[in-house]
Amino acid sequence: MTPPDVPPTARPPSLGELSPYLALMREHRGWLGVGALLALITLLAATGLLALSGWFLSATAVAGVSVAATQAFNFFTPAAGVRGLALARTAGRYGERVTTHEGTLRLLASLRRRLFDAIEPLSPAALQRAGQGELMTRLGADVDALDSLYVRVLIPSLVAVCAILAAGTLIGVFAPTLALITVLGLALTGGLVPWLAWHLGSRDAMRHQASASHLRARLLERLQGLGELVIYGRWQAELASLAEQQAERDRIERSQARRQALATWLSHTLLGLTLAGVALLGVMQMAPQTQTAVGDVTAHAGELLDGRLLALFLLAILGAFEALAPLPLAWQGLGRCLSAAARLNQVQADTPAPQFPEDSAAATPVGHELVVHDLNVAHGDTQVLEQLSLSLAPGEHLALLGPSGSGKSTLLEVLSRFHAPNSGSIHLGGVALESLDEATLRASFAVCPQDTHLFCASYADNLRLAAPEASDATLIHMLESLGLGEWLARQPQGLAGFPDEGGRSLSGGQLRRFGVARALLSPAPIVLLDEPCEGLDRESAERVISAILTACRGRSLIMITHQPLGLERFARLALLEEGRLKEDATPTTLQADSRLARLMARTTNQA
């Protein structure tokens, strides 16, 4: 599998992708605004320090030419200015770092929260479609990529504009022509070069983002399946393929670095030309002999230039250039920010699969009768359930059988609204399922899917997910009734113990029963269990069935199973074949009808 390349026709994301993040910045305008202000103060202090020091040195040299000039020269005021500016620069830089980083971290926290808010309503099916690794990348790397937007792009750009204006104004007070050259040279350096870096690098930025995200997602996925790769001797080939992808990413980074070097060369050349132009013109405008007292320099505006000012001009330009130097790299990174923003916007734009009505518009079911009518469900182009009709009276127990792939789990997914039907209706207590608000729907069904996920929390907390009020004694009793008593007794910390990630410290059968316990502890009136006895020996399976039927006394139950165990204890049996509900029988009709019995036997023998 090669990394996805960006199609040649793909357009780089536009600046408009950033608008949600710029809007988000308003929430943190205090920190971000103070950060920007301190960055400006630091810049002005740094430029002023350089310019004043340059002027001070040359003025001191000129003052030393004659005794009269030395006596008239005021050393103290400029020296105090230099000290003051140096202190302001240091304090400003410190404050700027603290506030801009604080602002950025707060901004990222809001961004992550917004993203979680967008992902949270997605149904598990929609999340699966998005891909775990891909989502992890978007939540991690893409959000991180946006951290440079404020600190590395917006603030330096603002500071650069102010630096150009400050240097232009300072020089313009004494020599307008030199100020014009300065502003032109600096504007080209700070505007044209970063713009070129952004435009020429945007395609590489997209490819880099796509390649990095693909590599991350693939690495995560392959690590999850490492066992299979080792067993089938494929991990060396996988490593080689991952290394190839990494090399591709390195190639893109090298190309970005070359472009960066070119931009640096170009901006330094423009700086050199600006300095040379100002120096040359300045020398041409200079008085033949500079003997003016310090306080008189402004008197020369529009006339011959005071030579001491030339050093001030050149150092002011150098000071301003310090603010422009990081721009090409920052704007080259803007492409990365835009790609990341576009990908995050896409996650947020994905409409959540199930839409629930507002609490006020939601209907309230009367009783818990479940009526499925003429249901058609497809996964993509594959029709899975066809014209399925089924009803379940409150308290009725139904065992749902059917060959693998016949659509049993899909039916449970549709009942839980993890997947939307193409047509047909489902009513609970006389109310269409889609008219129930989410809280009522979730409180109506207790579901144990085929895969049980244990969270990184104590066993007790994992069980209380379904029944927050349940006492320890209730939890222990439930685990014991499902045959997990011995397992619990072996846990050094009992219910307070923690499972390994995802529940890997439990065997497949134990994990399945843990999920069943969670569903049975829920007080929901309808229980949906997907193959609760899968992977269990006969004795354990019979025990689990007994526990399920006891816990579901008075509650409705749909239990998917491939095992012929305990079927006679169910009020009704249903058989799904190729998406159609072939039979809906009672154990009595099952015994009486040999054709149906054969069908059941064929289905259950597949297990």
- How many other C-beta atoms are found inside a 10 Å radius of the C-beta of residue 378? 16
When the beta carbons of 365 and 515 are compared against ligand ATP, the nearer one is 515
* One of 409, 440, 561, 603 touching ligand ATP (CB under 6 A): 409
Q: Does 99 sit near ligand ATP (CB under 6 A)?
A: no
Size of the site for ligand ATP (CB under 6 A): 13
Q: Does 556 sit near ligand ATP (CB under 6 A)?
A: no
When the beta carbons of 369 and 413 are compared against ligand ATP, the nearer one is 413
Residue 396: C-alpha distances to residues 189, 521, 526, 555, 573 (Å): 78, 18, 9, 7, 11
Tell me if 320 sits within 8 A of 163, measured CB to CB.
yes
When the beta carbons of 18 and 412 are compared against ligand ATP, the nearer one is 412
Considering only the stretches 406-414, 453-461, 475-483, 550-558, report the one whose residues sit in contact with ligand ATP under the rule CB under 6 A.
406-414
* One of 8, 288, 302, 380 touching ligand ATP (CB under 6 A): 380
Nearest to 346 by CA among 125, 122, 153: 122
Nearest to 405 by CA among 606, 148, 150: 606
Q: Does 600 sit near ligand ATP (CB under 6 A)?
A: no
* One of 133, 407, 429, 503 touching ligand ATP (CB under 6 A): 407
Give the torsion sign (CA, 344, 439, 443, 475).
positive
Considering only the stretches 102-110, 283-291, 388-396, 408-416, report the one whose residues sit in contact with ligand ATP under the rule CB under 6 A.
408-416
When the beta carbons of 83 and 379 are compared against ligand ATP, the nearer one is 379
Residue 530 β-bridge partners: 560
Report d(CA 309, CA 182) in Å as an integer. 14
3-class SS of residue 406: coil
> Strand 526-530 and strand 556-560: pairing?
parallel
3-class SS of residue 16: helix
* One of 62, 167, 179, 384 touching ligand ATP (CB under 6 A): 384
Q: Does 132 sit near ligand ATP (CB under 6 A)?
A: no
Report d(CA 349, CA 13) in Å as an integer. 15
Q: Does 408 sit near ligand ATP (CB under 6 A)?
A: yes
Report, in Å, the least distance between residue 350 CB and ligand ATP: 16
Report the Cα–Cα distance between both ends of the chain, in Å, rounded: 34
- Identity of the residue numbered 598: R
Report, in Å, the least distance between residue 562 CB and ligand ATP: 7
Report, in Å, the least distance between residue 449 CB and ligand ATP: 10
DSSP 191: I
Considering only the stretches 259-267, 357-365, 377-385, 548-556, report the one whose residues sit in contact with ligand ATP under the rule CB under 6 A.
377-385
Report, in Å, the least distance between residue 458 CB and ligand ATP: 30
Q: Which two tokens stand for residue 154?
A: 């917006």
Report, in Å, the least distance between residue 415 CB and ligand ATP: 12
Name the one residue in this structure whose structure tokens are 């992808």: 245
Q: Does 405 sit near ligand ATP (CB under 6 A)?
A: yes
When the beta carbons of 13 and 579 are compared against ligand ATP, the nearer one is 579
* One of 2, 14, 298, 382 touching ligand ATP (CB under 6 A): 382
Report, in Å, the least distance between residue 351 CB and ligand ATP: 17
When the beta carbons of 125 and 470 are compared against ligand ATP, the nearer one is 125
Considering only the stretches 52-60, 179-187, 291-299, 397-405, report the one whose residues sit in contact with ligand ATP under the rule CB under 6 A.
397-405
When the beta carbons of 126 and 585 are compared against ligand ATP, the nearer one is 126
* One of 19, 346, 404, 550 touching ligand ATP (CB under 6 A): 404
Q: Does 406 sit near ligand ATP (CB under 6 A)?
A: yes
| Residues 6 or more apart in contact with residue 209 via CB below 8 angstroms | 142, 145, 336, 339, 340, 343
Rg (CA), the chain: 36
Beta strands in 267-319 (DSSP E): none
Query: Distance between alpha carbon 128 and the CA centroid of its chain, in Å?
Result: 16
Question: C-alpha dihedral over 291, 294, 299, 305, to 10 degrees?
Answer: 50
When the beta carbons of 419 and 518 are compared against ligand ATP, the nearer one is 419
Report d(CA 231, CA 87) in Å as an integer. 65
Report, in Å, the least distance between residue 527 CB and ligand ATP: 17
Considering only the stretches 133-141, 194-202, 398-406, 566-574, report the one whose residues sit in contact with ligand ATP under the rule CB under 6 A.
398-406
Q: Which two tokens stand for residue 487?
A: 């397992």
Tell me if 149 sits within 8 A of 21, measured CB to CB.
yes
Report d(CA 209, CA 334) in Å as an integer. 12
Question: C-alpha dihedral over 330, 333, 337, 342, to 10 degrees?
Answer: 140
Residue 377 β-bridge partners: 385
Q: Does 381 sit near ligand ATP (CB under 6 A)?
A: no
- How many other C-beta atoms are found inside a 10 Å radius of the C-beta of residue 279? 16
Report, in Å, the least distance between residue 399 CB and ligand ATP: 13
Residue 219 β-bridge partners: none
Considering only the stretches 407-415, 467-475, 498-506, 597-605, report the one whose residues sit in contact with ligand ATP under the rule CB under 6 A.
407-415
Q: Does 209 sit near ligand ATP (CB under 6 A)?
A: no
Considering only residues 229 through 268, tell me which ones interact with ligand ATP, judged by CB under 6 A. none
| Residues 6 or more apart in contact with residue 520 via CB below 8 angstroms | 446, 478, 482, 527, 547, 548, 551, 552
Report, in Å, the least distance between residue 99 CB and ligand ATP: 48
Report d(CA 200, CA 213) in Å as an integer. 21
Q: Does 402 sit near ligand ATP (CB under 6 A)?
A: yes
Q: Does 379 sit near ligand ATP (CB under 6 A)?
A: yes
Report, in Å, the least distance between residue 1 CB and ligand ATP: 20
Q: Does 602 sit near ligand ATP (CB under 6 A)?
A: no
Q: Does 410 sit near ligand ATP (CB under 6 A)?
A: yes
Query: Distance between alpha carbon 365 and the CA centroid of its chain, in Å?
Result: 38
Footprint of ligand ATP on this chain (CB under 6 A)? 125, 379-380, 382, 384, 402, 404-410
